[in-house]
Amino acid sequence: MSQVIIASQLDEDYNDVIRERLASIHPQAQVIGVPAGVPSDLPPQANILLLRPINVRGYTAPDTPPPGWPYGAQWVHLVSSGIDFYPQWLFNGPPVSTSRGSAADNLAEFALATIFAASKHLPDIWVKDAQWHFTALRPLKGTTLGLLGFGAIGEALAHKALALGINVVALRQRAAPIAVEGVETARDIHDLFARADHLVLAAPLTEATRHIVNRDVLGSAKPGLHLINIARGGLLDQAALLEALDNGQIGLASLDVTEPEPLPDGHPLYTHPRVRLSPHTSAISTNSKQEIADTFLANLERYVGGSTLANRVDR
């Protein structure tokens, strides 16, 4: 193929990692920084486009592509796992792939951290004076973790939870079997919610899954359920969640994602005593630059060699 020339919307420190890694495998390759947002006026020589999410924190992409799209791009790689921020026209041109799975361990570890924090009453048990009061801490062994969605994140989380003696029950949309020994399959979403002590939302956001966790589903929950959302805020009906928190059906909600993001000032989720809210940070780690480079460069080798791209999107 022709020389590898990558138009990248990533920050320069991310681009520098990719340049450094490319130097040993494709020394003639170039990485050209371009603005984030809707790709436009790309360098005519660029044949690969590396995109950041273009519909986050209030930004909405246009319904029609910019004039000249797709320019000279022959392959588009998205550094995100989810594709719900992107407009349909992005998928109607050159092949598109994602970084699905690159942050699975980060997300799984974050979900486990919320479970540990809830069960061990962290940080409430820290003491700052001599007035010590002992708190009975809930064990994790023998509890049940529910997983709504069983892709790379669900699989990573299942392995870690099973190693801790946690029972795991999962529900996925696809008919494919759950190929992790020890993971049970729920009959349906109501069965999943009824059995779980902690339940992690790890499904993609689509038209079919928007508000899949609604008032009816929350009403099926095991009383006191700890609900954890590390996927997309749109999976969850937030008004119904607040009702379920107030009536005690849901004991705690640990939310790394909301709809919209960020929530407006004064939103009740900020101050509800049974909500733990974080700013969509569970996938980000001190190794993110290398993780993104790993996924992209592995796919670059497939692209250069004429092989099928991993995590290709057909939408």
Question: What pLDDT was estimated at residue 246?
Answer: 98
Judgement on whether residues 93 and 186 belong to the same structural domain of the protein: no
Question: What pLDDT was estimated at residue 40?
Answer: 86
What's the DSSP call for residue 275?
E
β-pair type (183-185, 198-201): unpaired
Judgement on whether residues 238 and 290 belong to the same structural domain of the protein: no
pLDDT (tens digit, 9 = 90+) per residue, 121-154? 999 999 999 999 999 999 999 999 999 999 999 9
Closest listed residue to residue 90, CA positions, set 57, 60, 64: 64
In the set 57, 261, 301, 315, the catalytic residue is: 261
Judgement on whether residues 116 and 238 belong to the same structural domain of the protein: yes
56 or 107, greater pLDDT:
107
Residue 100's SS3 state is coil
Number of structural domains the chain divides into? 2
Q: Is the pLDDT of residue 315 over 80?
A: no
Reported as a pLDDT band with limits 50, 70 and 90, residue 86 is confident
Q: Is the pLDDT of residue 60 over 90?
A: no
- Kindly state the percentage of the chain with pLDDT values over 70: 97
77 labelled catalytic:
no
DSSP codes of every residue in 163-221: HTT-EEEEE-SSSS---STTEEEPSSHHHHHHH-SEEEE-PPP-TTTTT-B-HHHHTTS
Judgement on whether residues 108 and 257 belong to the same structural domain of the protein: yes
In terms of C-beta density within 10 A (0-12 exposed, 13-18 middle, 19 or more buried), how is residue 277 classed?
A: middle
Judgement on whether residues 74 and 212 belong to the same structural domain of the protein: no
Q: Is the pLDDT of residue 57 over 70?
A: no
Judgement on whether residues 251 and 298 belong to the same structural domain of the protein: no
Closest listed residue to residue 6, CA positions, set 286, 293, 310: 293
Which helix (H) or strand (E) element contains residue 20? helix 12-25
Question: What pLDDT was estimated at residue 190?
Answer: 98
Sheet holding 225-229, edge to edge: 183-185, 167-171, 144-148, 198-201, 225-229, 250-255, 275-277
Judgement on whether residues 176 and 87 belong to the same structural domain of the protein: no
Judgement on whether residues 37 and 94 belong to the same structural domain of the protein: yes
pLDDT (tens digit, 9 = 90+) per residue, 12-52? 999 999 999 999 999 999 999 999 888 888 999 999 999 98
Question: What pLDDT was estimated at residue 278?
Answer: 98
Per-residue CA distances from 209 to 202, 205, 206, 234, 236 (Å) = 11, 6, 5, 8, 9
Question: What pLDDT was estimated at residue 210?
Answer: 97
Q: What is the pTM of this model?
A: 0.93
Closest listed residue to residue 121, CA positions, set 229, 228, 199, 226: 226
Question: What pLDDT was estimated at residue 204?
Answer: 93
Rounded Cα distance between 74 and 96, Å, is 9
Residue 147 lies in a domain: yes
Average pLDDT for 155-177:
94
Question: What pLDDT was estimated at residue 61?
Answer: 75
172 labelled catalytic:
no
Backbone angles phi, psi at 22, to 5 degrees: -65, -30
pLDDT (tens digit, 9 = 90+) per residue, 214-240? 999 999 999 999 999 999 999 999 999
Rounded Cα distance between 107 and 100, Å, is 12
181 labelled catalytic:
no
Question: What pLDDT was estimated at residue 174?
Answer: 80
Judgement on whether residues 115 and 32 belong to the same structural domain of the protein: no
Per-residue CA distances from 276 to 28, 119, 251, 268, 271 (Å) = 48, 14, 11, 12, 9
Residue 59 lies in a domain: yes
Residue 310 lies in a domain: no
Question: What pLDDT was estimated at residue 181?
Answer: 96
Residue 19 lies in a domain: yes
The two structure tokens encoding residue 283:
């996938």
Question: What pLDDT was estimated at residue 62?
Answer: 84
In the set 77, 198, 226, 232, the catalytic residue is: 232
Q: Is the pLDDT of residue 64 over 70?
A: yes
The two structure tokens encoding residue 140:
């994790």
In the set 21, 190, 267, 280, the catalytic residue is: 280
Question: What pLDDT was estimated at residue 84?
Answer: 82
3-state helix, strand, coil in the chain (%, to 5): 30, 15, 55
Question: What pLDDT was estimated at residue 176?
Answer: 79
- The CATH number of the domain where 153 resides is what? 3.40.50.720
Q: Is the pLDDT of residue 294 over 60?
A: yes
Handedness of CA 141, 142, 146, 150 (dihedral sign): positive
Judgement on whether residues 79 and 117 belong to the same structural domain of the protein: no
Q: Is the pLDDT of residue 103 over 80?
A: yes
Q: Is the pLDDT of residue 59 over 90?
A: no
Residue 215 near residue 246, CB atoms below 8 Å: no
Question: What pLDDT was estimated at residue 16?
Answer: 98
315 or 200, greater pLDDT:
200
Q: Is the pLDDT of residue 249 over 60?
A: yes
Residue range(s) defining the domain that contains residue 54: 5-98+285-305
Residue 238 near residue 257, CB atoms below 8 Å: no
Residue 311 lies in a domain: no
Judgement on whether residues 186 and 289 belong to the same structural domain of the protein: no
Residue 53 lies in a domain: yes
Question: What pLDDT was estimated at residue 54?
Answer: 63
Residue with tokens 């004064």: 266
Single-letter amino acid code for the residue at 180: V
Residue 313 lies in a domain: no
Judgement on whether residues 71 and 114 belong to the same structural domain of the protein: no
Residue 250 lies in a domain: yes
From the centroid of its chain, how far is CA 216?
Answer: 25
